[in-house]
């Protein structure tokens, strides 16, 4: 491990009404990956932003390369070689990759015009150093895939010749294979002596790339530990501040009649092929599979977002056709979608309005709305689901991921459908909120709802489901009941990757 390049001491950062960081110490060495973990709102992104110069801390000092520094804005930090690879991409869609990389540092010809040739040449070299020479640097960023865009982000960061790189939740939007190649890059950067700050709450990633972990909770630093010095359970305990030995809760209950079933479902895009599933009341059925296996597409067929090409859907034994989402809700089907920001919520609208969005018609069959009743309903769910907010009139965009997801759930609870489809219900939210959502799912099942859960996180599917369907390339390749011998992550994981015949041995 190299020498220390950055130390932050006694950092305190105030936001209106709260202490985002309270006397936090942090240090980073050359060639190490230092992971920052904590629940949403614990202050990990805030700390990263203070180091990046995006926020000014009220107290504390930062030493960089042995000298005390104070950054006025990100540009000053950039010039010293402290760069960020952001979670939300900071690329301009309709200019070229090269132009994006050199944004605000454009090369110019003698005439003062942009020197596209020189920028493209250098950009191509950067891409090559990332083993991404297949990305055409003349291409508009908009024409690239998400993973390619991330590589452009990294290339952009590298063009600053960084000493320190900050990755903020970099894997949130990537598929498994893309994550692997990202980790390869991080390992390579490490070898070059770059210090890396990695903000994440995906614990399964930590042993793969981390050297040290700093745990934050409510703006306070709990501890910094070496990667091998701490088990996952201890880590979670430190993050949440209470014992979470039982993350997945399932109360045993009776499964009664079939609520929803399908026969030979196919879609027009060829992503869903001959899917027959069923879910009974009181049951949680998991659908496991890799990204692109057709799980979300199946949910979209059931919820009427995409059209069914062939096959039948039965709700409570009656043959139905969910043509539109409106149609589907009338049939008693609800969907907690994968992308809550785009599909689940009206981000600019208030929490209250989002909660009653689907049930407005039910609540007010006559013409006029009652703001009082809307607010009461919202407050009720705020209490029930412990949505952390000062007011239900706040716009949803100001909430953390976990709380946003709770608003989505509240929306469906207030509508009270019999069948609920959860698509990646815990993506991008912290452990405490996850546990609350698991608890809620369990409660709903106990109340006799039929639940379908789509998830890429195996422990979650296995922990919560009564039965698991495994999807592979659009088909259901297997169905495994809880309590049978195959109900374990090795078997399910192998079949997800390899299809029906997959076993653990075949993995080689």
Partner 1 sequence: MQTSNFKQRIKKVPPVAYMLIIIIAIFSFMEPHYLSFSNFRNVLIQSTPLMIVAFGQTCIVLTQGTDLSLGAQVSFVTVLTVFLAQRGIMLEVAMLISVCCTVLIGAVNGLIVAKGNIPPFIATYGTQNIVNSISLLLTAGSSIYFSSFTYRIVTETTILFIPLMVWVAVIVFAVVWIVLRKTKFGTNIYGLGGNREALALAGINPAANLIKTYAFAGMIAGIAGIITLCRVESGQPIVANGWEFQAVAATLLGGTSLREGKGGVTGTIFGVLLIQIIKNGLNVIGVQSIFQNAIIGSIVLAAIIIDAVVRIRAKE
Site residues (vs partner 1, CB under 8 A): 73-75, 78, 86, 88-95, 99-100, 103-104, 106, 108, 112-114, 116, 142
Q: Rounded to the nearest whole angstrom, what is the least distance from the CB of residue 269 to partner 1 in the complex?
A: 8
Q: Which residue lies nearer to partner 1 by CB, 211 or 267?
A: 267
Q: Can you spell out the DSSP letters for 86-119?
A: -SS----TTSBHHHHHTTTS--B-TTSSB-HHHH
User: What sign for the dihedral angle of Cα 286, 292, 298, 300?
Assistant: positive
Given phi > 0 = left and psi -120 to 50 = alpha, else beta, which region is 117?
A: alpha
Q: Rounded to the nearest whole angstrom, what is the least distance from the CB of residue 400 to partner 1 in the complex?
A: 19
Q: Which residue lies nearer to partner 1 by CB, 3 or 142?
A: 142
User: Which residues sit opposite 335 in a β-bridge?
Assistant: 421
Nearest Cα residue to 168 out of 180, 191, 193, 150: 150
Q: Rounded to the nearest whole angstrom, what is the least distance from the CB of residue 76 to partner 1 in the complex?
A: 9
| HEC profile of 417-450 | CCEEEEECCCCCCCHHHHHHHHHHHHHHHHCCCE
Q: Which residue lies nearer to partner 1 by CB, 42 or 137?
A: 137
Q: Rounded to the nearest whole angstrom, what is the least distance from the CB of residue 325 to partner 1 in the complex?
A: 19
Q: Which residue lies nearer to partner 1 by CB, 142 or 443?
A: 142
Nearest Cα residue to 359 out of 388, 394, 382, 332: 332
Q: Which residue lies nearer to partner 1 by CB, 73 or 501?
A: 73
Q: Which residue lies nearer to partner 1 by CB, 74 or 400?
A: 74
User: What sign for the dihedral angle of Cα 51, 54, 60, 61?
Assistant: positive
Q: Can you spell out the DSSP letters for 347-368?
A: TTSBHHHHHHTTTHHHH--SS-
Q: Which residue lies nearer to partner 1 by CB, 83 or 213?
A: 83
Q: Rounded to the nearest whole angstrom, what is the least distance from the CB of residue 37 to partner 1 in the complex?
A: 24
Residue with tokens 């009181």: 282
Q: Which residue lies nearer to partner 1 by CB, 102 or 469?
A: 102
Residue with tokens 């083993």: 131
Q: Rounded to the nearest whole angstrom, what is the least distance from the CB of residue 103 to partner 1 in the complex?
A: 4
Q: Which residue lies nearer to partner 1 by CB, 16 or 112?
A: 112
Q: Which residue lies nearer to partner 1 by CB, 159 or 261?
A: 159
How many Å apart are CA 474 and CA 294, to the nearest integer? 5
Q: Which residue lies nearer to partner 1 by CB, 141 or 413?
A: 141
Half-sphere exposure of 330 (CA within 13 A, CB side): 9
Q: Rounded to the nearest whole angstrom, what is the least distance from the CB of residue 91 to partner 1 in the complex?
A: 6
Q: Which residue lies nearer to partner 1 by CB, 268 or 439?
A: 268
Q: Rounded to the nearest whole angstrom, what is the least distance from the CB of residue 306 to partner 1 in the complex?
A: 11
Helices (H), 216-370: 232-240, 295-302, 325-330, 351-356, 360-363
| Contact assessment for residue 396 and residue 423, using Cβ atoms and an 8 Å cutoff | no
Q: Rounded to the nearest whole angstrom, what is the least distance from the CB of residue 256 to partner 1 in the complex?
A: 41
Helices (H), 192-334: 206-209, 232-240, 295-302, 325-330
Instruction: Return the H-helix or E-strand segment holding 405.
Output: helix 401-415
Nearest Cα residue to 284 out of 467, 29, 84, 79: 467
Q: Rounded to the nearest whole angstrom, what is the least distance from the CB of residue 142 to partner 1 in the complex?
A: 7
Q: Rounded to the nearest whole angstrom, what is the least distance from the CB of residue 164 to partner 1 in the complex?
A: 16
For 212, counting Cβ atoms within 10 Å of its Cβ (0-12 exposed, 13-18 middle, 19+ buried), the class is middle
Q: Rounded to the nearest whole angstrom, what is the least distance from the CB of residue 86 to partner 1 in the complex?
A: 8
Query: What distance lies between CA 107 and its chain's CA centroid?
Result: 37
Helices (H), 1-82: 44-52, 74-80
């Amino acid at each position: 491990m190299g020498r220390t390049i950055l130390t932050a001491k006694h950092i305190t950062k105030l936001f209106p009404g709260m202490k985002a960081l309270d006397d936090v110490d942090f240090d980073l060495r050359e060639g190490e990956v230092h992971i920052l973990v904590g629940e949403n709102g614990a202050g990990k992104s805030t700390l990263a932003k203070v180091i990046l110069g995006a926020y000014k801390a009220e107290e504390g000092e930062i030493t960089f390369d042995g000298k005390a520094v104070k950054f006025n804005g990100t540009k000053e930090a950039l010039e010293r070689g402290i760069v960020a690879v952001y979670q939300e991409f900071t690329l301009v869609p309709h200019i070229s990759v090269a132009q994006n990389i050199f944004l605000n540092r454009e090369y110019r010809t003698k005439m003062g015009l942009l020197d596209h040739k020189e920028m493209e040449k250098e950009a191509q070299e950067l891409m090559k150093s990332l083993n991404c020479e297949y990305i055409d640097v003349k291409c508009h960023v908009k024409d690239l895939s998400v993973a390619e865009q991330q590589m452009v982000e990294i290339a952009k960061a590298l063009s600053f010749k960084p000493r320190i790189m900050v990755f903020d939740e970099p894997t949130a939007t990537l598929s498994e294979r893309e994550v692997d190649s990202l980790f390869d890059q991080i390992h390579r950067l490490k070898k070059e002596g770059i210090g890396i700050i990695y903000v994440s709450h995906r614990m399964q990633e930590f042993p793969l790339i981390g050297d040290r972990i700093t745990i934050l909770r409510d703006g306070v630093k709990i501890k910094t530990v070496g990667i091998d010095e701490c088990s996952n359970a201890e880590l979670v305990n430190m993050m949440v501040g209470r014992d979470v030995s039982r993350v997945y809760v399932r109360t045993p209950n009776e499964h009664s009649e079939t609520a929803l079933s399908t026969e030979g479902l196919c879609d027009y895009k060829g992503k869903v092929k001959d899917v027959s599933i069923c879910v009974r009341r009181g049951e949680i059925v998991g659908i496991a599979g890799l990204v692109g296996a057709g799980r979300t597409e199946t949910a979209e067929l059931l919820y009427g977002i995409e059209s069914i090409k062939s096959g039948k859907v039965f709700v409570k034994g009656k043959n139905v056709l969910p043509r539109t989402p409106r149609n589907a809700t009338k049939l008693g089907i609800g969907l907690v979608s994968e992308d809550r920001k785009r599909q689940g919520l009206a981000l600019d609208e208030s929490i209250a309005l989002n909660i009653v969005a689907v049930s407005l018609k039910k609540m007010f069959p006559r013409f006029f709305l009652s703001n009082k009743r809307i607010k009461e309903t919202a407050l009720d769910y705020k209490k029930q689901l412990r949505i952390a907010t000062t007011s239900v009139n706040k716009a949803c965009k100001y909430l953390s991921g976990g709380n946003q997801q709770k608003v989505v759930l509240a929306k469906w609870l207030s509508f009270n459908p019999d069948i609920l489809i959860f698509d990646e219900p815990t993506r991008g939210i912290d452990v405490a909120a996850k546990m609350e959502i698991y608890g809620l799912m369990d409660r709903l099942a106990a109340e006799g709802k039929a639940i379908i859960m789509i998830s890429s996180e195996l422990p979650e599917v296995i922990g919560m489901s009564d039965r698991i369907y495994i999807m592979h390339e659009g088909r259901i390749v297997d169905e495994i009941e809880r309590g049978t011998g195959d109900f374990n992550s090795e078997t399910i994981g192998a079949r997800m990757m390899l299809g029906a015949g997959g076993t653990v041995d075949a993995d080689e």
